[in-house]
Amino acid sequence: MSKHKWILGVLLLAACATPGGNQASHRGESRPTPEEAKAFVARVNRDLKELWTREATAAWVKATYITEDTDRLAAWAREEVMAYLSRAVEESKRFDGLELDEETARALWLLRLSLPVPAPSDPEKRSELAMVESQMESLYGRGKWCGPTGEGPCRDLGELSEVLARSRNWDELLDAWVGWRTVSPPMRALYERNVELGNLGAREMGFADVGELWRSGYDMDPEALRAEVERLWEQVKPLYEELHCYVRARLQKVYGEDRIPSDGPIPAHVLGNMWAQDWSNLYPLLEPFPGQGDLDVDAALVRQGYDALRMTKLGEQFFLSLGFDPLPATFWTRSMFTQPRDRDVVCHASAWDLTGEGDIRIKMCIRPTEEDLITIHHELGHNFYYQKYNHLPILFQGGAHDGFHEAVGDAIALSITPGYLKQVGLIDHLPKDDKGLINFQMKMALQKIAFLPFGKLIDQWRWDVFAGKIPPERYNQSWWELRERYQGIASPVPRSEEDFDPGAKYHIPANVPYLRYFLAHILQFQFHKAMCEAAGHQGILADCSVFGSKEAGEKLQAMLALGQSRPWPDALELLTGTRTMDAGPLLEYFEPLRNWLQEQNQGQTCGW
């Protein structure tokens, strides 16, 4: 998953530019006009294109070469954009109440939403917030676990995650899980200050707190968004509970009932992922019909000598088959595809648009695995989205809402079916019957369905933190209450407020809103179904691959080209014909697996 440009890039920023405009009218000497508002937006678009390019460059260097110096450079750049945006937002308020054309009014509104954590106007507090943000992200990027004694060997997140993915030894898993969470306690005081300063900035912009600002970016009332998220969760909750029930029963056979209770939450460290958000590494333990259908893509990638560049080229080829333009030559020379051996970097996969006009990149530490192959398609979805809307003014260069940006590449990845994998030579034989289909859907569900409650609860936690409903003395307790309530998982060892387990997830110290990922897991199936219909697919939705369909690509590109220039229902309607987010296509996709799970769970005590 990634920080795309209008959120990450909105971290960009530059120095001494000011929004300009008629200062006399700002002092109240004359009433501003719609023409002045339009000119103001034009100036801000020009300024921000330059400013965000400067900050994006500093942020890129910091993420790919972590030192105290690059921390400082990125913080200075971020502080400069905060200062510019504070001035621009304040000046924009003089146009409140004017009758403006739709484009100008939308640009002014998006300007107010342009920083995930807005800075206070006070220069000292603004500088402090910039440094706090930079320090938190660097603590995460440099994090290592050097064992109980601190004498090593030291392992970073990638190495610890590999233990979670591959080991089935309870104690080894526990050591890696607890070890990574030693990285985050130093962030706790920083995060508390981050909340205080961000809320000051949000209130200056007219929002109750940062959480309300985030919820305001969806072309609906912030409280209506809460209700919409709950509605979507209720649609998918029964399927998640059925998957949880099956997985818990299988894990109990591995670890015993004393460690995996029949009616309780699952210990978080045995689910194959550092945050228990993706259970696909457990597939060998959970495979419904062993040996039915060759789905070992990892082995095929290694056997066929796929490296990071070749895997990325394969991802690009899918988009080219839909009629997209190729990635620019600079993408291949400026991206970070593998983990350097000589320095600390942030390996968390992300897509970047540094200039708003074609300098697009990805940052990954790619391994020859199916998981990374799918992640590449996800990140390239951002990059091809950037290319489609780079013609728009910079304030409109974003997804229709942020969930759209995350959903595009994942919708393409849904077309990585057994049929497609055989077509590109990564498997030898197609599954011959429904057993192969159930195996394939299980593998997909362990990624897509397992993620849903996690995708929902992270921002639910942060919304309540920003609103003061969760005070600092209950940060960790409330975190685990939500994880048990929604995910049905629990910490494998006692945790206290000396810990700061939310900070062990990248998006918390990096201040990246997370609801986008939950919404993307709904939208991607809507996108997939619409593209499959455009491609003329016949049969069940799970069998559809739109690889090679120019018709599907044409509809997708039409939606992407709108960027953020129109409310998201307009964009959704272009591709799907509907103006409402709906989990119906997701449930349709997984219907074969759901029927099978219900049979397997008979006699089990489901729930926790």
Question: Around Cβ 86, how many Cβ atoms within 10 Å?
Answer: 21
Whether residue 507 lies in the annotated active site? yes
Which of 585, 570, 441 minimizes the C-alpha distance to 521? 585
The answer to whether residue 391 is catalytic is no
- Whole-angstrom distance, CA of residue 5 vs CA of residue 327: 17
Q: Cα separation of 247 and 380, whole Å?
A: 31
Per the annotation, the verdict on 348 as an active-site residue is yes
Q: Per the residue annotation, which of 4, 378, 405, 528 is the catalytic one?
A: 378
Residue 153 preceded by cis peptide, ω within 30:
yes
Q: Could you tell me if 501 and 390 are in contact, meaning their C-beta atoms sit under 8 angstroms apart? A: no
CB 362 within 8 A of CB 328: no
Q: Label the pairing between strands 266-267 and 144-145.
A: unpaired
> What is the Cα–Cα distance from 130 to 441, expressed in whole angstroms?
44
Burial class from Cβ neighbours inside 10 Å (0-12, 13-18, 19+) for residue 516 reads: buried
Q: Which of 299, 344, 346 is nearest to 63 (CA)?
A: 346
Is 407 catalytic? The answer is no
406 is annotated as an active-site residue: yes
| Active-site hit among 137, 241, 406, 484 | 406
Residue 378: active-site member:
yes
Handedness of CA 541, 545, 550, 556 (dihedral sign): positive
Q: How many angstroms separate the most distant Cα atoms in the chain?
A: 79
- Options 4, 244, 507, 537, the catalytic residue: 507
Query: Which residue out of 382, 401, 405, 528 is catalytically annotated?
Result: 382
Cβ atoms 524, 582 nearer than 8 A: no
Residue 33, φ and ψ in degrees, nearest 5: -115, 160
Annotated catalytic residue: which of 58, 88, 308, 349?
Answer: 349
DSSP of 266-324: EEGGGSSSTTSS--GGGHHHH-SSTTSS---HHHHHHHTT--HHHHHHHHHHHHHHTTP
**How far is the C-alpha of 97 from the C-alpha of 387, rounded, in Å?**
35
Catalytic residue among 246, 306, 517, 589: 517
| Strand bridging mode 489-490 / 266-267 | parallel
**369, 529, 560, 362: which is closest to 447 by C-alpha?**
369
- What span, in angstroms and rounded, lies between the C-alpha atoms of 407 and 409? 6
Question: What span, in angstroms and rounded, lies between the C-alpha atoms of 401 and 327?
Answer: 23
From the candidates 165, 379, 400, 583, give the one annotated as an active-site residue.
Answer: 379
CB 110 within 8 A of CB 564: yes
Is position 382 annotated as part of the catalytic site? Answer: yes
Q: Is 8 helix (H, G, I), strand (E, B) or coil?
A: helix
Q: Could you give the residue numbers annotated as active site?
A: 348-349, 378-379, 382, 406, 507, 517
